[in-house]
Amino acid sequence: MVDRRFHLRPTVLELGYTYLSVLGVPQVATPHLVALTERLDESTSLGVLDGDDVVYVARIGSRRVFVNGATVGMRGAAWLSSHGRVLLAALPAADLDAHLGRVQLERRTAHTVRDTGELRRRLAQVRAQGWSLVEEELEEG
């Protein structure tokens, strides 16, 4: 509350899609997501950090048979998704330190990163390359 005014947070998505319609995020993001989906032939999403989670606020599905199950309003641990890791990698060092001090790196699969040092190394790589791939850390297969 830097400017002494109240602002809605992405948590309000849990109440429904109406909030996003008023905010205008999908209208702004959709043309860019559509273009990217067509170019890559992959689903694309827009997410924001909300506390220690990433919340998906817009999504365009691809024509492919296999489709990632992320939906608008869905939230998940930021450290455990490629989307969240891109956002975490962009945080100032103090904010990233605070985030990593709060979260527990819980095992989801045999491939889940559970060491904070290793996660920091991967986030540095994400920061350097500008993209993230999380392979079989959330679920296997």
pLDDT digits (tens, 9 = 90+) for 33-87: 999 999 988 888 888 898 999 998 888 888 865 666 678 878 999 999 999 999 9
Confidence of residue 6 (pLDDT cuts 50, 70, 90): low
Question: Would you tell me how many other CB atoms lie within 10 Å of the CB of residue 107?
Answer: 10
* Inter-residue contact 52 to 103 (CB < 8 Å): yes
Mean pLDDT, the chain, whole residue set: 84
Only one residue has tokens 């296999």, namely 66
pLDDT at position 33: 92
Domains of the chain (ranges plus CATH)?
A: 1-73 (3.30.450.40), 78-141 (3.30.450.40)
